[in-house]
Structure 1
Amino acid sequence: MNRTLTIVGAAALTLVTTTGAVQAAHDPRLPAPTGKDPVGMSTLHLVDSSRPDPWNPAATARELLVSVWYPAKKAGGKPVRYLTPRESELILEPFPDVPPEILSRTRTHATTDAVPRKGRLPLVLMSPGFSWPRATMTTLAEDLASRGYLVAAVEHTYEAVATFPDGRTTTCLACVKGQDLAKVAAGRVKDVRFVLDEVKKRWRVGEVAMVGMSAGGNSTAHAMLADRRIKAGVNLDGTFKPVPGRLTRPFLLFGNPVSHEPTGRDETWGQAFANMKGWKRWLTVDGSVHASFSDYGVLQPQIGLPGSEIGGPRGLKLTRTYVGAFLDRHLRGAKAPLLDRPEDSEVKRWK
């Protein structure tokens, strides 16, 4: 008998396991960054007292956690923990054959006590999939930080599991059937704008971009419409709801072909693309699935759950390559010819 988990929302992740205990050959490991700089990571606990929490009626302020990855002078000594055992247990609860704490043993490449490199850095804000913790964007974040970017991934509290410094582990109060993704996007826009203000108080920030996975990709477009400080945006495999209005700054659509080819099942990409009046690209990756653009793409097979046709490492390599080229072009002014003529056989440019 198969067990299937479908996490509620646009970031729906479907995992299937076969009968019997799952045995991982080793602790899960994320792909190494490709840049020359060691990577550090720090965690911010922020409180926005100007507004109540949109999901928890008992909270009079909006609490957020933010992971900030940065290029370091040299590596520190203590590796960053991917998830807590409790977070891993909650995520894997529907899979009794998978060791519940195994995701907490995932090996990352950043350290918590690394000394930051001096100077002004381009900033990339990140927003994860709905019901997915911010940690699921670690591979892309570490890679960008190793190449000189400052990266801030937002934990949208009560939209996934999250453990706060005082030991509280919050759960996904927003994960209800039929959740309004427009409401999700509206709340995330407020989260991101607040986080941008706070990061700029703590770091010397240059040009700013935003990258979102699934519901985070939808939120990226809406955040750009609300805040002109965000100069460029990327939607990784996310449906738009609502379809964003006229967007004049650079935007990249990067997703799976079943949903996001022009004749795919998600019509919102075509509608949104027509509203984009600045630089824009629409790329799909053959053999990819929804999880291919996040850490889940490489973690699922390592913990005994099926992966994609393209394979987790290849999917994430392409994501890092094309997102990195987009950011280099629009935040650093570098040439990026592969965005016009993809160099990889799996990547198709539609428009």
Structure 2
Amino acid sequence: MTIRLRRRTAVATLAALALLATPTVTAQALSGPAPAPASASTPRELPRPTGPYPVGVEVLHLTDHDRADPWVPEAGDRELMVSVHYPARPGGPGATAPYMSTEEAEVLLARLGLDDDAPARLSSLATHSRTDAGTARGRFPLVLLSPGFGNPRATLTSLAEDLASRGYVVASVDHAYESQGTAFPGGRILTCAACDAVEAAPDEASAQKVRESISTGRAADLSFVLDRLTGHRPAWAGSRTIDRHRVAAAGHSIGGNAAASTMLADPRVDAGINMDGTFFEEIPASGLDGRPFMMLGTTSLHTPGGVDGSWDRGWQRLDGWKRWLGVEGSGHSSFTDLPVLEDRLGVTLDPTVTLSTDRQVRITRAYVAAFVDLHLKHRPQPLLDGPTPQNPEVVFNRP
């Protein structure tokens, strides 16, 4: 698939990504002087994983024959693309996996136009995952990841690689017709019909209903992925390494809401994380059956008594171990790869963010890993007991 793109500035290019990450980004927030372009010394790779395991990856195309696609019913059965990152054996064959295809990068950046080489530079960003890598010995917990609305699963790659290097199998899910562009078999690039449904809603209440249906639909998607990875005749050859009794769901933005929705619908999911996502499907008064849940987000929106009241209500209804962590100086996209893409392409998405890219990456990785280490591996995590001098940006909210 080829898309003809107009030449524009690099700032306009990556502004498209910011708009995908959060529908509330304004033109004013994206304005300001463009930074210097990325230099020859700028790393052309994602941040290195921090755990002891090498990382392998396999991409799966899954079809749920029991459900029609909710956004394009004429397309037939519900389809998903899933990247499975896993602890791998050292050495052996396998090429380094691409960050995303050039066609996906073209669609992702097309709306605002860009320099001619930007899709190639984005798609060629080096990962730290090998294809066809053998699985490491042992049994590992499973983490299901769901991206923000409009974002492809690739935008959670750095987190997925880090968790895999620490001894987790991580399944990052692209939900059909819910990203700006995802490659499916047969040369198809599926675009965001769900975005069109939100935009077509006659009022905000109707738009909220659509967003709620996105969250509950993603819960069904994640449960189906769990079925296909841990049930009879699993879709992934390495599924024997998954400990199906240790499962967490996590996500960014509406994907974070989907983590809670999945826990509500599926008792097999033991723990969940919402990274800066509004609870469009709210946590009920009955809670999550005592299962642990963490809310990790910005301090500009998700603060006690703040604009997003869904976090206040959610916090009160969580009936198990819980944490509400705010990261000062962060933005909505700080919990994804987008800050890394800013650095690598030499642009600024959100000038209100004051944290360095390194701090954004380190904080997200550290607190997500601590949560799953505590609740899936049952290892004590002092990092989650309260504020630390090493992480002064992280605020523990206890309303």
- TM class by shorter chain equals over 0.9
Distance 1:45 1:152 in 2: 12
Partner residue, 1:334: 379
Q: Could you tell me which of 160, 172, 190 is aligned with 1:141?
A: 160
| 2-structure distance, mates of 1:89, 1:214 | 23
Superposed displacement of residue 215, structure 1: 0.4
Q: Does 1:25 align with 2:25?
A: no
Gapped regions of structure 1 (runs ≥ 5) = none
Q: Is the 8 A contact 1:11 1:214 kept in 2?
A: no
Matched, 1:287 2:329: yes
Whole-Å Cα distance in 1 between the matches of residues 319 and 259 of structure 2? 16
CA distance in 2, matches of 1:222, 1:11: 21
Cα shift at 1:300: 1.7
Query: Deviation per CA, 1:326-349, whole angstroms, max 9, x where unpaired?
Result: 100000110011111132100010
Range 173-182 or range 155-164, more displaced: 173-182
Q: Is the 8 A contact 1:28 1:303 kept in 2?
A: no
Separation of aligned partners in 2, 1:328 and 1:101: 36
Deviations 1:270-324 (A, max 9, x none): 1011110000000011100011000012112321321531022211110110110
Equivalent residue for 1:347? 394
How many residue pairs get aligned? The number is 351
Q: Which residue, 262, 283, 302 being the options, matches 1:244?
A: 283
Q: Indicate the larger mover: 112-121 or 60-69.
A: 112-121
60-69 or 12-21, larger mean C-alpha shift: 12-21
> 2:176 aligned with 1:129, yes or no?
no
RMSD between superposed Cα atoms in Å = 2.2
Equivalent residue for 2:185? 165
Kindly indicate which of the two structures has a greater share of residues assigned to helix. 2
Counting aligned pairs with the same residue, the percent is 43
Deviation at 1:10, TM superposition (A): 5.4
SS at match of 1:7: helix
8 Å Cα contact 2:216/2:281 also seen in 1: no
Q: Give CA-to-partner distance per residue, 1:143-200, whole Å, 9 cap, x none.
A: 0100110000111110011112322111111112154210101210110010000011
Match of 1:185 in 2: 215
Instruction: Answer with 339-348 or 16-25: which moved more.
Output: 16-25
Taking a change above 3 Å as real, the CA distance of residues 288 and 19 of structure 1, as seen in their structure-2 partners, is closer
The C-alpha deviation readout for 1:36-67, integer Å capped at 9, x for no partner, is: 11000001111111110011121220111100
Question: Is contact 1:121-1:148 (8 Å) kept?
Answer: yes
Shift of 1:9: 7.9
Partner-residue secondary structure (3-state), 1:117 = coil
Kindly state the Cα deviation for residue 7 of structure 1 after the two structures are TM-superposed.
3.3
Q: CA deviation at 1:120?
A: 1.6
Change (3 A) 1:169 1:211: same
Matched residue, 1:74: 90
Q: Are 1:59 and 2:98 an aligned pair? A: no
Task: Give secondary structure in 1 for the equivalent of 2:98.
Answer: coil
With 302-311 and 53-62 compared, the bigger mean Cα shift is at 302-311
SS at match of 1:63: strand
Q: Does the aligned pair in 2 maintain the 1:22–1:303 contact within 8 Å? A: no
CA distance in 2, matches of 1:11, 1:317: 25
Residue 19 of structure 2 corresponds to which residue in structure 1?
7
- Equivalent pair of 2:215/2:261 in contact (CA under 8 Å): yes
Residue 348 of structure 1 aligns with an amino acid whose one-letter code is: V
Name the amino acid aligned to 1:168.
R
1:141 to partner: Cα distance: 0.5
Q: Does the CA contact (< 8 Å) of 2:37 and 2:347 recur in 1?
A: no
Residue 45 (structure 1) aligns with: 61
Shift of 1:25: 2.8
Deviation at 1:119, TM superposition (A): 2.4
Aligned position for 1:175:
195
Q: Is the 8 A contact 2:20 2:151 kept in 1?
A: no
Partner of 2:113: 96
Letter in 1 for 2:161: E
In structure 2, list runs of 5 or more residues that go unmatched. Answer: 1-8, 202-206
2:37 & 2:313 partners in 1: Cα distance?
44
Helix, strand or coil for the counterpart of 2:60?
Answer: strand
Deviation at 1:73, TM superposition (A): 0.8
Query: Could you tell me whether the CA contact under 8 Å between 1:159 and 1:171 is conserved in 2?
Result: yes
Contact 2:67 2:78 in 1 (8 A): yes
Q: Write the distance in 1 (CA, Å) between the matches of 2:330 and 2:182.
A: 28
What one-letter code is carried by the residue in structure 1 that aligns with 2:271? A
Q: Structure 2 length normalisation: TM-score? A: 0.83
108 and 218 in structure 1: CA distance in 2 versus 1, 3 angstrom threshold: same
Cα distance, 1:11–1:237 mapped onto 2, change above 3 Å: farther
- Distance between the aligned counterparts of 1:339 and 1:216, measured in 2? 22
